[in-house]
Structure 1
Amino acid sequence: MVVANPAAGTYTREMSEAVVRRIAGVGAAVELAVTERPGHAHELASAVGEPGGPALVVSIGGDGTAHDLMAGLCESAPAEQRVPLLVLPSGTGNSFYREIWSDRPWQDALESALSRPRVRRIDLARVAETDGLALLGASSGLAAQTLVTARTVSDTGRARYEAALARAIEAFRPYPGRVSVDGEVVHAGPTVAVGVGGGRHRAGRFTLLPHSVLDDGLLDVCVAGTALPLPALLRLSRDGSHVGGPGIVYARGRRVVVERTDGEALLFEYDGDLVTGARDRYTLDVDPHALPVITP
């Protein structure tokens, strides 16, 4: 089954049609499902585990579409029976596609999936307070603030994120935070950003967790304090060279707890969706080898 999201940032009908033609060209039965509303991809994926369902789900969309399909597939069947997911890029950031296929054209990824498919079971992060799953990862601090600011920006696509980030930087203030990994406090004090995952890349341009491995059974966490100036943090995190810099903590573990310590609500997101509520802490546990994905 091919699931296409026409609301994705760089979606074209021509790409969806080309994908369907190529799959049909190898003699496989293929169904194209075009999403009609938010959450529709989740609904479609949650039904694929029924008898006679598809052997593969192809995502044509962005990171949000990939997240929704992941969540639906995880509801559809136990881990060992889940249908594999192939992600093709049609969004703005396409961080998960980049995670798997680097800068290879989507046509190459599709050919590889059809001619020599390799299934890799990757880890997910489960947020205890919401019982939700993260595919790419979660964050607090500046990245989460940028999502709030984006609500006030009228631009679309990559320009919207760039404008929101610029506004967020102007207004952002570090928060008093604490981060624990497997019960050990790794950071306490003023906090600019916390990233947990998952994927190495976020927002299509930042390599926040450069040492993350998708199927090692661990969550990576990177914490930025205030020792590294914000412009330098943004510049260095494009290629992951912020790690090892002043005020940067990098760790791995099976459980990560992110807290705000002044009693105020912690601004927190995962897979690009802000979490509502007035909580001051979030707990993330690794869900190892939970999702089969098609990889090179």
Structure 2
Amino acid sequence: MQLIGFIINPLSGDGRGANIWKEIETHLQMNQIPYVSKITQKAGEAKELAISIIQEHSVKKLILIGGDGTIHEAASGLAHLQKEGIHCSLAVIPAGTGNDFAKAYSIPKQPLQALNTAIAEKKKVQIDLLRGLNELIAVNSIGAGFDGMVAKLTNESSYKKYLNRLGLGKLSYFLTILRVFATYQPCTVWLEVDGTVHELPHTWLAAVANIPFYGGAIQICPSASPHDGMADIVIIQSRGRFRLLPVLFTVYQGKHTNHPAVSFYKGTSISLRTQKPLLIQADGEYAGATPLQITLEPASITVIC
């Protein structure tokens, strides 16, 4: 068996990553499965660890133990190496709060089952990436406005850690949504998709999606596919907040799509200018403020699922 690379975020899921790694490492040793591992020590480190573990050990399979933030970082490293002609498949053992990536690819929640899926390698898919400016990469979504603020406040909140300990981490996003919903002020944005500009007043949210899910269970773009060579864009507009209450409670099932406040676009080159700077999230991680420029890169990395 070829050497397998592991990157572990021990703090993901408020310590769940560390517990899962103990279980996985015991299994690897008992079954004499060759591996090399690196453990993240700080935020943003998984990209460099992915690059170093692949370059130093020539691994062809990299398994991540962490959440969407860890995947976000490591995928950036894989995309960087891909451009240099160095290929490595990505697999995931979910250990985060939302685990949107794992849900999109039907990766088992149970750690040993996810490990066996990665080792068996029965299914491999080429997935698209969303590339922004300043080496920004996303595998799930990039959003500006309401969701950018929700992502930032959720990650900074004390209740996220507490709810993770109770196994209710996804509830933290919903609590922040209610907080932000009460005070958020929409603005005009100018969305350009493949050369066509749309002026969109009273915009609450502009999200570019590669998969249907974000925020743990929200089906923001139910038709989004990471294999179709197109990015899906969702815009939510409303002059008043109470008009959006039906959206707030149907988006989890993906049943918001016919609401008059919601519109969708598809394209490969997307830019967003805004009346005022809006917070940006990339795969649930704070990623600065608008303006925003995104290019879809088709079939960029290989995922084992």
Give the structure 2 partner of residue 209 of structure 1.
221
Alignment of 1:42 with 2:47, yes or no, is yes
Determine the C-alpha separation between the residues in 2 that align with 1:91 and 1:238: 19
1:62 to 64, 67, 76: 67
Alignment of 1:173 with 2:178, yes or no, is no
Determine the C-alpha separation between the residues in 2 that align with 1:179 and 1:87: 33
CA change 1:45–1:151 in 2 (3 A) is closer
**Which amino acid is the alignment partner of residue 97 of structure 1?**
A
Identity between Structure 1 and Structure 2 (%): 22
Q: Taking structure 1 as the reference length, what is the TM-score of the superposition?
A: 0.88
Moved more, 210-219 or 95-104: 95-104
CA change 1:95–1:122 in 2 (3 A) is same
Determine the C-alpha separation between the residues in 1 that align with 2:7 and 2:255: 36
User: Across the two proteins, how many residue pairs are aligned to each other?
Assistant: 290
1:113 to 115, 118, 133: 118
1:257 to 271, 291, 297: 271
Give the structure 1 partner of residue 35 of structure 2.
30
Moved more, 56-65 or 2-11: 2-11
Determine the C-alpha separation between the residues in 2 that align with 1:116 and 1:242: 36
Consecutive unaligned residues of structure 2, counting only runs of 5 or more, are none
Moved more, 245-254 or 161-170: 161-170
**Which amino acid is the alignment partner of residue 79 of structure 2?**
C
Alignment of 1:100 with 2:105, yes or no, is yes
Give the structure 2 partner of residue 282 of structure 1.
292
Determine the C-alpha separation between the residues in 1 that align with 2:265 and 2:84: 27
Deviation string, structure 1 residues 83-122 (Cα, Å, up to 9, x no partner): 1110111011111111111665443332232224322110
How does 1:1-296 map onto structure 2 within 5 Å?
1-9=5-13, 11-23=16-28, 28-50=33-55, 52-78=57-83, 81-101=86-106, 105-128=110-133, 130-150=134-154, 153-155=157-159, 156=161, 157=164, 158=169, 160-186=172-198, 188-226=200-238, 229-260=243-274, 262=275, 264-276=276-288, 279=290, 281-295=291-305
Determine the C-alpha separation between the residues in 2 that align with 1:121 and 1:288: 8
Report how far residue 178 of structure 1 moved.
Answer: 2.2
Report how far residue 54 of structure 1 moved.
Answer: 1.6
Report how far residue 57 of structure 1 moved.
Answer: 0.8
Consecutive unaligned residues of structure 1, counting only runs of 5 or more, are none
Secondary structure of the equivalent of 2:129?
strand
CA change 1:56–1:152 in 2 (3 A) is closer
Report how far residue 25 of structure 1 moved.
Answer: 5.9
Deviation string, structure 1 residues 218-238 (Cα, Å, up to 9, x no partner): 111111111782221121111
Determine the C-alpha separation between the residues in 2 that align with 1:202 and 1:3: 23
Secondary structure of the equivalent of 1:244?
coil
Moved more, 165-174 or 19-28: 19-28
